[in-house]
Amino acid sequence: MPFIMKKLFLTLLFLGFYFITFAQSEPKVGDILVIESPSSHVYNHVKFPKLNTLIKRGKVGNYKSVKGNVVVVEEVVEGKDGSTHVVLKRKDGSKFFGYLSTVKANYDKSIASGEISVKS
């Protein structure tokens, strides 16, 4: 009997850790994130405008101005395929590249690739 109780206790303990970990990975409105540098020269999962669009608008053609920006999750959108997208707004209220007030990002993929990180 003690062996079964020990097994049951460990199973419940691991299930508890699983649910706690799963609950922390879901974004909520008001979460604070940081935009990191992309692994290549462009962002793949954060929907910033293309570099040629920035140049046409008279801006510098790079993403250095957004690296390190602290952003707030303004909206969480669940896709039909199960993906989670977030709408991000700068915490200080200014605009991205001088004309975008919000940008959209695939939450799971951008966290996994290191394009954004959760500010602790």
Q: Which domain holds residue 65?
A: 27-118
For residue 87, what pLDDT is reported? Answer: 96
- Domain assignment present for residue 11? The answer is no
The number of folded domains in the chain is: 1
For residue 1, what pLDDT is reported? Answer: 58
- Domain assignment present for residue 5? The answer is no
- Domain assignment present for residue 62? The answer is yes
For residue 23, what pLDDT is reported? Answer: 47
For residue 19, what pLDDT is reported? Answer: 56
Cα separation, 5 vs 36, in Å, equals: 47
Q: What is the DSSP string of 6-53?
A: HHHHHHHHHHHHHHHHHHHTS--TT-EEEE---SSSS-SSB-PPPHHH
> β-pairing, 102-106 with 84-90?
antiparallel
pTM above 0.85, yes or no: no
For residue 63, what pLDDT is reported? Answer: 87
Q: What is the DSSP string of 77-106?
A: EE-TTS-EEEEEEETTSPPBTTTBSEEEEE
Q: Cβ distance 101 to 95 under 8 Å?
A: yes
- Domain assignment present for residue 68? The answer is yes
Per-residue pLDDT of the chain (120 residues; tens, 9 = 90+): 577 777 877 787 666 655 555 545 688 899 999 999 887 888 999 999 998 888 888 888 888 889 999 999 999 999 888 889 999 999 999 999 888 999 999 998 998 889 999 886
